[in-house]
């Protein structure tokens, strides 16, 4: 009897996506006594088919997404369900173990056991964050970790791939310079030269993909960050177009190496301490001696 009522209740609740109140249920199933209805609701709650939410003063019953539910095996106990639910909320950003403990109110040993249990069942996984190498975050097993966790294409495990970035930086610069040289060969006036030497991110992306130097696939956003580093190196300019997009173009530095750095004092690490007396003076200076040899 109660199971039939439960099925009826479920179909009613599923019919109202925002969630059914107690009044809705009494209206829909007016011939069922209140006690049986409560029994039915309890069955549904136990099965995890619905959840109870509080809306103002009233309780609201809402059907759960059946696909989500299926990941967790039927024999999971309550604690596991709760922990799983919390991890699920973290989506692909993951959730830190301390936050799980705060939310679930479980003690550390118990929580560790549950997490380990879920991990062996391949329901959740632990991912190391690039921002803090000690910090592990948990997320559902089938999810692809977010960029902010893995660091995107530039990270191999935890390590930032300096060489990879440097090579890409050089190649991008080479491409921009090539483009500029080609533009200089055509003599169509200065503005045409400028326009021809400009590249969009798409152009660069194509060039880098064709070059085949990257093992991982890079998207245009990745290359935009690389192109920005070329700009920050002072070798290129970022120009905004009328439609709000940016183009890049190789440029020369406006000044030759300045006079100051052509003598050792300009690059001296202890110039602050240099004076007429003491150990650092122009007469005793080792850098100066080597330079004048």
- Give me the residues that bind other proteins (CB under 8 A), please: 131, 154, 159-160, 162, 165, 169, 189-191, 194, 225-226, 228-229, 231-234, 237, 251-263, 265-267, 269, 271-272, 274, 276, 281-283, 285, 288, 291-292
Q: For residue 144, which of 98, 94, 214, 73 has the smallest C-alpha distance?
A: 94
Q: Are 111 and 100 in contact (CB under 8 A)?
A: yes
- Provide the CA 4 distance to its chain's centre, in angstroms: 47
Q: Which phi and psi angles does 5 have, rounded to 5°?
A: -60, -40
Shortest CB 225 distance to other proteins, Å: 6
Sheet bearing 246-250, strands edge to edge: 199-200, 246-250, 236-240
Cβ distance 171 to 119 under 8 Å? no
Distance CA 222, CA 228 (A): 10
| Residue 69 or 232 having the CB closest to other proteins | 232
Is 265 in a helix, a strand, or coil?
Answer: helix
């Amino acid at each position: 009897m109660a199971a039939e009522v439960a099925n009826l209740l479920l179909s009613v609740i599923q019919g109202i996506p925002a969630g059914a109140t107690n009044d809705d249920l009494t209206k829909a199933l007016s011939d069922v006594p209140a006690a049986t209805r409560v029994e039915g609701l309890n069955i549904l709650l136990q099965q995890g088919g619905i959840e109870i939410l509080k809306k103002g003063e009233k309780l609201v019953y809402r059907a759960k997404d059946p696909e989500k539910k299926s990941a967790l095996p039927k024999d999971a106990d309550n604690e596991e369900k709760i922990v799983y639910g919390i991890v699920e909320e973290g989506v692909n950003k993951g959730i830190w173990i301390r936050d799980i403990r705060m939310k679930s109110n479980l003690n550390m040993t118990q929580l560790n056991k549950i997490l380990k249990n879920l991990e062996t069942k391949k329901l959740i996984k632990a991912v190391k964050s690039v921002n803090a190498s000690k910090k592990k975050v948990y997320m559902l097993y089938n999810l692809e970790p977010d960029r902010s966790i893995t660091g995107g294409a530039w990270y191999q495990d935890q390590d930032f791939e300096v060489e990879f970035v440097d090579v890409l930086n050089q190649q991008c610069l080479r491409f921009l310079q090539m483009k500029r040289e080609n533009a200089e060969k055509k003599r169509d006036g200065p503005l045409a030269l400028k326009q021809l030497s400009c590249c969009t991110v798409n152009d660069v992306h194509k060039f880098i993909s064709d070059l085949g130097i990257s093992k991982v696939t890079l998207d245009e956003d990745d290359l935009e960050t690389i192109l920005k580093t070329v700009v920050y190196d002072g070798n290129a300019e970022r120009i905004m177009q009328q439609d709000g997009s940016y183009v890049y173009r190789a440029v020369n530095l406006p000044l030759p190496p300045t006079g100051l750095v052509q003598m050792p004092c300009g690059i001296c690490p202890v110039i602050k301490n240099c004076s007429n007396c003491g150990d650092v003076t122009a007469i005793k200076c080792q850098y100066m001696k080597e330079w004048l040899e």
